[in-house]
Every structure is written in C-alpha cells, then in structure tokens.
Amino acid sequence: MTFEYADRIKRLPPYLFAELEKLTREKKRCGIDLISLSIGDPDLPPPTFIIESLKKEASDPKKHNYSFSQGEPDFREAVTGWCKKRFNVDLQQDQVVALLGSKEGIANVARAFINPGDRVLVPDPAYPVYAQGSTILCDGIPVPMPLLEENDFKPDFEVIKVDKAKMMFLNYPSNPTAATVDKKFLKEAVDFAKDNNLMLCYDNAYSEITYDGYRAPSILEIDGAMDVAIEFHSFSKTFNMTGDRIGFAVGNKQLIDGLTKVKTQIDSGPPVYTQKVAVKALGAYSGSEPPEFLKKNNLILQERRDLLVDTLCKLGYKVEKAKATFYVWVNCKCDSIKFVAKLLDVGVAVTPGDGFGKYGEGYVRITFTQPMERMVEACNRIASAFK
C-alpha cells in the first residue's frame, strides 16, 4: 500500500544534509576514508561541568516529569540573566520560551503567524529551515533575499521587494557564509521590519562561536527591536550539545506567546534535567565574558580556520578569515557540484553552495569541525586535488 504525501511535503526540495549523509555513508561502505567537512556538528566535547551536571540532574527521578511548555521558571530566569550579562538586554520571564533546539523554534514560529499563501522573506543562501521547515511547511511562500558577495553577504534593503511579506528571517553570524554584522546593519534591519510591518526572526545560533576578539551583537540591543523581533539561541554550538536539543527564543512578547501557543499543542518543552544543565551552562558566564572552556574551544577552532583558509588562499581562492561560525564559504570559480565532486575523489566531503539556495551556486561551504590532525590531512588532500 502507498500513501500520498500532503502537497506541502511534495513542495519541499530534498533536505540537503540528509542527501549528504547518504553519500557519506555510501563512500564509507566502499571503504573510503572520507573526511567530512560538510556538517555543522562540533567534534569537540561538551565541557566536563556540563557532563557532570547532566549525570547529576538525569539521575534525579524528580526531573523526569513533563516540563512547562514555555520552559521551567529557573531556566527562563537564567536566560533573562544571561541576556542582561551578555548583551545588556532587559527581558521579563514571559519574553522567553525554551526550545527543543533553535531549529524547532524557527520552524514553529511560522505556524503561529503564517497563513497559506503568506510571503516570508528568507536570506539566500541560508540555513534551509527558514524557507522549508518554517515557511513551506506552513503553506507559506518563501521570497529569497539574495546575499551577494559584493554586499558582504547582507541583504540590500533598498532593493528588496517586500511584496506583502509578513515575516523576515535573518541570521548573523551566518550559516553558510560566515558573514558577521555590526549594530548599524541591525538598526537598518529593525527599521526595515518596522517600516514594512514585518515580524523579524533573528537567528543568533552562532553568537558565541567567534574569533579575533569579535563579539556578535543581539538584535534586541537595537532601539525598537523589541517591537518587532524574536531572537533564537542555541546551546548546540556554544556548549557542543547538538544532540541534547536545547535552545531558547527571546524578544517581542506577542511573538513569544504565539510560538508558545504552538508548542503547547505539539511538545511539552525540553526535558527538565536538560534545562537544569542549561541553567548551569549560562551561569558559567561571568559578566559578558565567555567562560574559559569556550575561549579555549574557540581558539582550537580558530587554529583550524587559519589552516583551512591559508590552504585555500595558497591554491588561489580568495577567502577571508571569518570572525565567527565554523564555516568557510568559498567562491569556487566553477559549478559548486564540480568542486564538490573533485574533493570527493580525494576523500573530502564539503557542501555545495546551491544546497543553501540558488544564490549559493558557485560557492561551497567547508566546515572545520574535525580534529586538527584530520584537518591537516583534509587540507593536504584539498591541495592535491587542485594542484
């Protein structure tokens, strides 16, 4: 017996990472020692204090009941405290909702506000969930905002056709371009959202993975942002906890209320014990300073970034040392897929840029989420492929 998928499922393009995982599995099955520089899942472990806290909290039988859909009160208090410490942003607890990872919130926020046929401005290239898991799965219409190299991979608000869009996604530090922005740009974004009656969904999942002294701002630091913006944060990248599925959204109360309403119908919040660990994690910040382990973590990543960027520059590619994320976005001067295929032949998997949207064509995304010795080997292989 076969069943027919709903139209919204049929409209989804294939999920890029699922395809890549399949390809990687096939290469491995053929005995090829494939180095995957394609997926944004940190290889580094969570810090010891997180593991210890997880053991303690998970072994308490009282921490295995349902949570509140909006999150435990002490979790929300820790989030408001962290936002104050880190960004000097004042929030009430009812402006916070706990998430099963930021991806879940990004996908569910549209369910609260997007009707069939509504338009949503999405960056292109971008994390596919804005256009797909969020917009298309709500029967909305994604409208791409091109992120071009000549604009430093930022949307040009002067030329974007809003076309009755209701919502706009932005993500800096950016996956996949690794671009970062300053508060001047964020002010333009907030003004643009206000002038055009747009809900502004700001994905700040990489705010803590930064280098060379750069500190990523929050959109909520901007005057007027609280009127229009919801910001998504994640413990996945900051604390190397991708599998623990915990994040949060903060900001405009109505946007938080809408997202919470959806979640009460779908899930019952992240496990209580995970939220308790998250409280510990946020408490590790003293003032706006990141904890020691995070500084060390970022230094390790920075060293890998330098190796990768230097290798690509020596091969004649114009690549910047990005100030954040664990991605290098390479203008590969040919079809993305040709570049990817060439590297697959030497056992290195990278991601074709068009998987992040049509404006990603001609680029590839290379991650540096492998230990240094594997990065060295990968860089040697990349050099041999393009010699």
- Only one of the segments 99-107, 185-193, 261-269, 368-376 lies at the binding site for ligand PLP (rule: CB under 6 A); that segment is 99-107
Q: Considering the complex, what minimum distance in angstroms separates the CB of residue 234 from ligand PLP?
A: 3
Q: Is 102 in the site for ligand PLP (CB under 6 A)?
A: yes
Alpha helix positions (H), 69-162: 73-87, 102-113
Site for ligand PLP in 19-58 (CB under 6 A): 40
Q: Is 236 in the site for ligand PLP (CB under 6 A)?
A: yes
Q: Considering the complex, what minimum distance in angstroms separates the CB of residue 360 from ligand PLP?
A: 14
Q: Considering the complex, what minimum distance in angstroms separates the CB of residue 219 from ligand PLP?
A: 14
Q: Indicate the residue type of 274.
A: T
Q: Which is nearer to ligand PLP, 123 or 311 (CB)?
A: 123
DSSP state, residue 180 = -
Number of residues that bind ligand PLP (CB under 6 A): 13
Residue 119's alpha-carbon distances to 94, 168, 193, 277, in angstroms, are 28, 9, 14, 38
Q: Considering the complex, what minimum distance in angstroms separates the CB of residue 112 from ligand PLP?
A: 18
State how far the Cα of 161 lies from the Cα of 179, in Å rounded to an integer.
Answer: 23
Site for ligand PLP in 141-180 (CB under 6 A): 171, 175
Q: Residue holding tokens 């995304």?
A: 365
* First and final C-alpha spacing in the chain: 53
Q: Is 231 in the site for ligand PLP (CB under 6 A)?
A: no
Site for ligand PLP in 194-223 (CB under 6 A): 203, 205
DSSP state, residue 175 = T
Q: Which is nearer to ligand PLP, 47 or 123 (CB)?
A: 123
- Only one of the segments 23-31, 53-61, 100-108, 306-314 lies at the binding site for ligand PLP (rule: CB under 6 A); that segment is 100-108
280-312 b/e (C-beta count within 10 Å ≥ 16 → b): bbbebbeeeebbebbeebbeebbebbebbbebb
State how far the Cα of 377 lies from the Cα of 380, in Å rounded to an integer.
Answer: 5
Q: Considering the complex, what minimum distance in angstroms separates the CB of residue 127 from ligand PLP?
A: 4
Among 128, 155, 247, 355, binds ligand PLP (CB under 6 A): 247
Contact 305, 368 (CB under 8 A): yes
Q: Is 127 in the site for ligand PLP (CB under 6 A)?
A: yes
Q: Is 103 in the site for ligand PLP (CB under 6 A)?
A: yes
Numbers of helices and strands, H then E, in the chain: 12, 12
**DSSP states along 21-84:** HHHHHHHHHTT---EE-------SPPPHHHHHHHHHHHT-GGGGS---TT--HHHHHHHHHHHH
Q: Which is nearer to ligand PLP, 260 or 351 (CB)?
A: 351
Among 24, 53, 180, 234, binds ligand PLP (CB under 6 A): 234
**Which residues form the interface with ligand PLP (CB under 6 A)?**
40, 101-103, 127, 171, 175, 203, 205, 234, 236, 242, 247
